[in-house]
């Protein structure tokens, strides 16, 4: 089924201004513990990663900011990096802390039994907050690799208490326009227990901090079969869904292109975001907008087009979710019309919006088909020729 011009025209204004933040690390070489494949043209510096993010924005109009990871993206002068980004038409977004690549953190960071190590991890977050002041970033995102591998190894309750104390110390330094965003993940790298394994724990921890502490939902961080859209609904209902890390998973935390593994799940998630008032700056019930971010790695595919594909997938599924006839849906639900309600929902999901989106992009001065436009632009070949020498950035 394709859209009637009328229904697309109805939702098009809501697509205006959609913003999906890109992770700087998507532009570095990445891989698995088995192999990191290098690819020609990969960014060698933070400045080049920011430039690649700006390229994605230029072709799509969807990605006006780029998230940084400290210390991976540490530079001497964040003011200069900010100006570099702004010159390229993007801004610096979420600052992600890193307490998972230091020997001191082997048994924990914010939860460690040794107060000196806890303070070191807290100081790292203070450093991230200083970076945010220079970059103009709003969000400090904390994902913790902390946990244990064997039953009995650690005092689960003691770690949770120390976590609460460490987070409170960090939160005290979060500015009035800034937010602390706590991400959860059910396992990995710890395999027996993780200190922030689920939305409930993240919710409990951020609720104890205050209003400017919220939850980040990474779509790849749930057990198979989890009803993620239910979690989305609940966190929005509680006013605590701060942001998404979008990606796809088949098995574990695969960090694949969002919408690639299960487009229907992405649709269902976006429907709940819209339904819950988390989409778009002007939503009726005053709930604050949920930040959309990608958390992906492109291990074997090209990185810039990988990111272009990703933001287009989010845009396309947002359009389909906006097409749900919510009045008809509610009427069918209240009438107890099980199959009728399901059909209203599926009609929107089955709608092919690609042609309408292409025409709409063109009307706004963007390429109708950003993937094709990028492939035909010669940009990739130019990067491969000019980005020689130096160290192609990588992680994992
Ligand atoms: C880790 O699994 C989390 O998804 C983090 O959000 C993110 O991937 C990490 O900070 C980048 O290494
Ligand atoms: Zn994540
Ligand atoms: Zn992850």
Provide the pLDDT for residue 391. 75
- In three-state secondary structure terms, 265 is helix
Give residue-wise pLDDT tens across range 200-245.
Answer: 999 999 999 999 999 999 999 999 999 999 999 999 999 999 999 9
CB of 143 within 6 A of ligand 1: the answer is yes
Contact 3, 273 (CB under 8 A): no
Provide the pLDDT for residue 283. 52
Bridge partners of 241?
Answer: 215
Ligand 2 centroid from CA 3, angstroms: 34
Tell me the residue ranges of DSSP E strands in the chain. Answer: 20-23, 65-69, 91-96, 139-143, 147-148, 179-183, 193-194, 213-218, 241-246, 291-294
Round to whole Å and give the CA distance between 380 and 390: 18
Provide the pLDDT for residue 4. 75
Nearest to 209 by CA among 178, 232, 236: 178
Structure tokens at 39: 């690819």
Round to whole Å and give the CA distance between 291 and 305: 22
Bridge partners of 2?
Answer: 352
User: For ligand 1, atom 1, which residue shows the shortest CA distance?
Assistant: 143
Ligand 2 centroid from CA 383, angstroms: 28
Structure tokens at 245: 């890390």
Say which residues have a Cβ less than 8 Å from residue 200's Cβ, sequence separation at least 6.
Answer: none
- Containing 388, the helix (H) or strand (E) segment is none
Bridge partners of 244?
Answer: 217, 292
CATH superfamily for domain 15-318:
Divalent-metal-dependent TIM barrel enzymes (3.20.20.150)
Ligand 1 centroid from CA 88, angstroms: 26
* DSSP string covering 45-74: SHHHHHHHHHHHHHHHS---EEEEETTTT-
Structure ipTM over 0.95, yes or no: yes
Provide the pLDDT for residue 287. 55
**What's the distance, CA 341 to chain centroid?**
31
Show the low-confidence residues of the chain (pLDDT under 70): 1-2, 281-288, 395-396
Which one of 29, 72, 218, 222 would you pick to mutate in the ligand 1 pocket, going by the greatest count of ligand atoms within 8 A of its CB?
218
Nearest to 139 by CA among 256, 266, 312, 289: 289
Handedness of CA 186, 190, 191, 195 (dihedral sign): negative
| Pairing between β-strand 193-194 and β-strand 147-148 as defined by DSSP bridges | antiparallel
Provide the pLDDT for residue 1. 64
Structure tokens at 192: 């027996």
Question: pTM for the complete prediction?
Answer: 0.97
Q: How many residues does the chain have?
A: 396
What are the boundaries of each domain within the chain? 15-318
Which one of 245, 251, 252, 293 would you pick to mutate in the ligand 1 pocket, going by the greatest count of ligand atoms within 8 A of its CB?
245
Provide the pLDDT for residue 392. 75
Provide the pLDDT for residue 205. 99
Q: Which ligand is nearest to the CA of 24?
A: 1
Provide the pLDDT for residue 325. 97
Provide the pLDDT for residue 198. 98
């Amino acid at each position: 089924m394709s859209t009637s011009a009328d229904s697309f025209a109805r939702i098009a204004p809501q697509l205006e201004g959609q913003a999906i933040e890109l992770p700087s690390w998507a532009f570095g070489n990445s891989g698995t513990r088995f192999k990191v494949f290098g690819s020609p043209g990969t960014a060698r510096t933070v400045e080049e990663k920011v430039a690649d993010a700006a390229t994605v924005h230029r072709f799509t109009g969807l990605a006006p900011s780029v998230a940084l990871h400290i210390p991976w993206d540490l530079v001497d002068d964040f003011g200069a990096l900010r100006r570099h980004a702004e010159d390229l038409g993007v801004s610096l977004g979420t600052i992600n802390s890193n307490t998972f690549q230091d020997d001191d953190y082997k048994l924990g960071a914010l939860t460690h039994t040794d107060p000196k190590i806890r303070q070191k991890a807290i100081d790292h977050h203070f450093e991230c907050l200083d970076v945010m002041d220079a970059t103009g970033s709003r969000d400090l995102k904390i994902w913790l690799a902390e946990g244990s591998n064997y039953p009995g190894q650690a005092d689960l309750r003691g770690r949770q208490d120390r976590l609460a104390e460490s987070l409170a110390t960090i939160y005290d330094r979060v500015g009035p326009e800034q937010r602390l965003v706590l991400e959860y993940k059910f396992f990995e790298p710890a395999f027996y227990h993780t200190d922030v394994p689920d939305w409930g724990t993240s919710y409990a921890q951020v609720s104890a901090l205050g209003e400017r502490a919220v939850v980040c939902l990474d779509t790849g961080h749930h057990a198979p079969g989890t009803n993620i859209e239910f979690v989305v609904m609940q966190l929005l209902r509680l006013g605590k869904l701060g942001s998404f890390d979008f990606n796809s998973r088949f098995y574990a935390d695969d960090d694949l292109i969002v919408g690639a593994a299960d487009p229907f799940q992405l649709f269902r998630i976006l429907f709940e975001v819209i339904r819950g008032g988390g989409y778009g700056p002007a939503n009726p019930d005053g709930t604050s907008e949920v930040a959309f971010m990608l958390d992906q790695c492109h291990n074997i595919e090209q990185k810039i087009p990988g990111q272009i594909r990703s933001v287009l997938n989010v845009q396309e599924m947002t359009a389909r979710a906006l097409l749900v006839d919510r009045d008809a849906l509610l009427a069918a639900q209240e009438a107890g019309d099980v199959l009728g309600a399901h059909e209203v929902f599926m009609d929107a999901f089955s709608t092919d919006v690609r042609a309408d989106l292409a025409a709409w992009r063109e009307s706004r001065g963007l390429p109708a088909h950003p993937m094709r436009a990028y492939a035909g632009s010669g940009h990739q070949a130019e990067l491969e020729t000019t980005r020689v020498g130096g160290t192609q950035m990588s992680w994992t």
